[in-house]
Structure formats: structure tokens, C-alpha cells
Structure 1
Amino acid sequence: MTIDQSLPAGKARRLGIRDAGRPRFVILFCMVWLALVLLVAAGADHLAPFSYTEQSLLNRLKPPAFWGGDPKYLLGTDGLGRDVLSRLIYATRMSVVIAIVGSMIGATFGTLLGFCAAHFRGLVEDVVMIFVDFQASMPFFIIALAVLAFFGNNFELFLVVVGLYGWEVYARLTRGLVLQANGHGYAFAIRTLGVHPARIYMRHILPNILSVLIVQLTLNFPELILIETSLSFLGLGIQPPQTSLGLMLGEGRNYLATAWWTGVPAGIVIFLTTLSISLVGDWLRDKLDPTLKSAEM
């Protein structure tokens, strides 16, 4: 019989054997990796050994230093002689910025619509929920492709398109949480005192549902990275001379058989980052969800 089967979840966690169903070193590794990614994104200008646009055709497709290449290029060079490590650092920053800003756009837009639906009810709620159902029933990737192909690709439009991914989840979640909170005694008591509804929502209800929204934000974050990666891989995302993880992966696909280092590092960063955010978000959900806490006791 294994340790997980022989001990209840709560006791195993108190003994330090497991944490939310996962070994603690896995969660620790994910947190360290995410901290490293944020550090690289914040300090890209200081960490990159070269400019990510600097080309040198005499040094094209140089292998990494550990693969017998020039020690000056730790991860080698790409088909235009650009330093892969420098491009990877700047690509990480670009993808992280897009995912963060996009997550905030979707979360803010969806949360506001959820509050409006729960407050006004009636026709407003019906209209909001119709749009929610419409968005949920349509493949977002197809919509993004159509919008970018029809209106042309620029960074601002791309950021808005990516930001609107998943807003319907926040709207539906916020509406349900606000309706539930409105039925609680504290909200009713404050309302009877004549407090303005906006103050009730912002000062009392929002802080009580914020933990759930934060968990949803962490679950939505890796999906935005993959959306950006997929669109950039297809040539409808970030455009040269800028760079992103998806663009690096797309540019390196032609060299996978001869110069794997041009695309594989970006793929590894995408994989580890999305996996880490998913595991940490799941761990946060287990930590912050009061129903799961009560089930363990």
C-alpha cells in the first residue's frame, strides 16, 4: 500500500508528504521557474548578451557552446546569424507581457459584465448571457484568425484579440458569485443602510470573490501563452523584427533536422512555463477553495 493510499489527504499534508495531491518539490520547482521567467522578462535588456535583431551571416546556424560551438553563443545562432539566447530572452519577455496584459483585459471585461448582469438582471442579464453563450460556442482560435486576417495584423489589435480570450468564463463566474453574495446577510445589511451599489460591490463583494477570480486568472494565463504561440507560429501574431516564443518556434521549424537549437529552446520554455502556471494555479485553487479545505479536515 502506498503512502497516498494509507494516509488521509489532510494528515499526509500535515506530515509534509504531499501538497494538494502533488509532491511539494514539484510545486517548488514550478514557482522557482516562474520567478526565473519573470526575472528574465523584467531584465531582458540587461541579461541578453546581444541585440535580438543583430545579424551576422558569417555566423549563421552556429551550434550551441555545449554542442561544440562558439562559447560566445551559448545557445547557438539561427538562420540569420542572430544569437538564439538573446532572442529567447526577448521572446520570453514579449510572450509574458502579452499573456499578462491579455489576461487583465479579459478578466476586467468579463468581471464588469458579470457584475452588470448580476446587478441589473432582466434584459441586461439576458443579453450578457446570450453573448457569453455565443462566445463559448464559437472556437476562439477561428475567430482570432478571421479578425487578424481581415483587419490586418498590428500589435495593438493582436493584443486586444488575445485579451478577449476567456472573458466569458469570468463573466459567468462573476455573475454566479455576485448573485450568491447578494443573498448573504452582510450584503443585505449593508444595502439596507442605503450604501451605493457600486461601493457594496467594490468594497465588500469583490474582495470576497477575488480569490476565485485570481485562481481563474492563473488557469487562463497558460492558455493565452499557447494562443499567442499558435498565432505567431502561423504568422498572424508577432511580426519581425520583433520576436516571441511562438515566432521563434515557427522560424525554427525549417531547421529542426539540421539546426534543432533554433526552435527547441523556445518550445522548452513554452512547455515548462505553461505546465508550471497550470500546476501552481491548481495548487492555489486547492489552497483557496473553502470547500476543499473543509473536505480535508
Structure 2
Amino acid sequence: MTAVPSVPMSRRDWLLSDRPQSRTQARLGRAYMTWRRFSANRLALVGLGILMLLILMAIFAGVLSPHSPVIGNLAGARLLPPGSPGYLLGTDEQGRDILSRLLHGSRLTLFVIILVAVIAAPTGLIVGAVAGYAGGWVDAVLMRITDIFLAFPKLVLALALVAALGPGIENAVLAIAITSWPPYARIARAETMTVRNADYIAAVRLMGASPLRIVLLHVMPMCLSSLIVRITLDMAGVILTAAGLGFLGLGAQPPLPEWGAMIASGRRFILDQWWVATMPGIAILLVSLAFNLLGDGLRDALDPREAGQ
């Protein structure tokens, strides 16, 4: 009998194989399935596209900006409407190009988003994982501290912290991060309590692993999916809080082109020169909407049970 020639496996079949030959193949297969579930949500792709555009705007703001974001032309370009020659989105009360200020303001927005995520998410993850795994008085103390932070409205607490620390973009980021970690701690604690008595945790414990190693290497990774979804959904609130602080003069200080501060400076002209406050408001709306759409897509992609409903 002649041997039947083997058909080469396509890349898609290799990724979707139910018998992976290596850890790399298994991880790539899970990533591919996650992307397929995510890409099935068209609105999530729209949100991802808007955020990618925001990142590109922030990276190439210096190249894309037709004018200086902080130096205006009071003599001949004050409060020009959108579509004016050389000023696509118009100018503000100091003759500064609004488009250039929006482009450079995207850098401040990304600065706030990244720093808040870097500070708040690990803090909440550590507190929640330790509380859920240790239990007892450790859990009680850490959760009561979390409850104290949750008892205050986020914006009010951020206002108090910024007022105590002083106005500025760095202090605003620190205040937002301090007020943002408690929900992440709650999620991490709930996830930890569901897996701390699992068989694989018991096996690792019997092998002599320390509690610190178990929490860091085996418990925290199980919390990441839910945490990523919550962080993405919370970014819209972070942007609005930062814009609110800037609107009140407690965030980025002039002449920095922060979107909330731009709305504050344009509120005096909202009836006649509407574009001064409307353009940064639209930018905040689009970015906040993009994070909400992306968060919904990630929730469906990272939770197959949710996706199947």
C-alpha cells in the first residue's frame, strides 16, 4: 500500500488545534481565539480604532500641529470660526489654534490614563489578592480601608486631595490614582476567593510554595482578565475626572492644552463662539466612548460565558 501524503497544516488550523504541541502554541491559540471573539464586535473595533488614532495623534502631535499650541496671534487670529484659512477648527480667545491644542492635549490625556492605570491597578490587585488569600483579620483590615475610600465620591475625594497637594497635572494624576484603586481591590479579592481553594493551588501549596509565591505567580494572574476589563471601562471616568479637575483649575495649569482647561476657558464664549468649548468637549466624548466600547468588547472576548449568551 502506498502511503497517503500528509496534508500540511494551515496556520489557522495550527492555532485552533485542540492538541497543542507546546506552551507557545497553546498561548498563541488562546490569543487567537480571544481576538476572534473581540473582532466579532464591530463597535469594539471602532473603539480600538479611535484609541489607536489618539495614540498616533499623541506621538506625532509635533508633526501634525499646524501652529504652536501655546502661542497665539491676538492681532489677527482671535476667535476665528472653524474652516478659517489656516485654522481648521478655529481659534480661541488668545488666537491659538484649537486643532494644535487638541493634538498636544492628547499627550496629556494619555499621560493621565497610563499613570493612573500603572499606579491604581497594581495597588488594587495587590491589596485584593492579599486580602482574599490571607482572610481573617488581614482581610478585615484591608477591606475596611477599601470601604473608607469607597465611601467618598471619587471626584469629591480627588478635589480634596488636589486642594491639599496643590494644583498641577502630577498632583491631579496622583489624586485620581488614589481614588481609583478600591474597585480593583474588590474585584481581585472576589477572584482570589474563588480560586484559593482550587486543586492546583492546593497542589502548589503541598509542593512547598510560600504564600507570597502563590499569590504572585498563581493567584494574581487569574485576576488579570477581570481587572483589564474593569480598567478599560474605568478609563472614561478617569478622563472625565481629569477634565473636571482641569475645568476647575486644579489640574494642568495654563498654558498647557489640557482638554478640561480648554472647556473652562471657552465657557465664556459658548453662545457666540461655540467652537472654543465644543471642540475639546467632542474630543473628551469620543475618547470616553472609545474606552467604553473597547471595554465591552474585551469583556465579551475575555469571558467566553458572556460571549455565548
Q: TM-score, normalised by structure 2?
A: 0.83
Residue 266 (structure 1) aligns with:
280
Residue 44 (structure 2) aligns with:
27
Contact 1:103 1:224 in 2 (8 A): no
Which one of 57, 71, 94 corresponds to residue 74 of structure 2? 57
Q: Distance in 1 between matches of 2:223 and 2:234?
A: 17
Q: Which residue type is aligned with residue 165 of structure 2?
A: F
Matched, 1:124 2:138: yes
| Residues 289 and 237 of structure 1, relative CA distance in 2, 3 Å threshold | same
SS in structure 2 of the partner of residue 133 of structure 1: helix
Residue 160 (structure 1) aligns with:
174
Q: How does 1:48-127 map to 2 (within 5 A)?
A: 48-58=65-75, 59-65=77-83, 69-70=84-85, 72-127=86-141
Instruction: Give the RMSD, CA atoms, in angstroms.
Output: 1.9
Q: Distance in 2 between matches of 1:136 and 1:62?
A: 45
Matched, 1:38 2:47: no
Contact 1:96 1:225 in 2 (8 A): no
Which one of 190, 201, 207 corresponds to residue 215 of structure 2? 201
Q: Distance in 2 between matches of 1:48 and 1:157?
A: 28
Which one of 147, 151, 154 corresponds to residue 140 of structure 1? 154
Shift of 1:24: 4.4
Q: Distance in 2 between matches of 1:289 and 1:115?
A: 20
SS in structure 1 of the partner of residue 119 of structure 2: helix
Query: How many residues are matched?
Result: 272
Q: Distance in 1 between matches of 2:144 and 2:304?
A: 31
Q: TM-score, normalised by structure 1?
A: 0.86
Larger Rg: 2
Q: Could you report, residue by residue, the CA deviation over 1:15-56 in whole angstroms, capped at 9, with x for unpaired residues?
A: xxxx89x99443332221111111112222222122211121
Contact 1:232 1:238 in 2 (8 A): yes
Q: Which residue type is aligned with residue 71 of structure 2?
A: E
Shift of 1:60: 1.0
Residue 271 (structure 2) aligns with:
257
Contact 2:243 2:260 in 1 (8 A): yes
Q: Which runs of 5+ in 1 are unaligned?
A: 1-18
Contact 2:129 2:220 in 1 (8 A): no
Q: Which residue type is aligned with residue 263 of structure 2?
A: L
Q: Could you report, residue by residue, the CA deviation over 1:94-133 in whole angstroms, capped at 9, with x for unpaired residues?
A: 1121022112211111111112212332222111111111
Q: Which runs of 5+ in 2 are unaligned?
A: 1-36
Shift of 1:273: 1.1
SS in structure 2 of the partner of residue 164 of structure 1: helix
Deviates more, 1:41-50 or 1:208-217: 41-50
Contact 1:100 1:221 in 2 (8 A): no
Q: Could you report, residue by residue, the CA deviation over 1:181-236 in whole angstroms, capped at 9, with x for unpaired residues?
A: 11111111011100233332232222222111111110111110010011111111
Contact 2:249 2:261 in 1 (8 A): yes
Shift of 1:172: 1.0
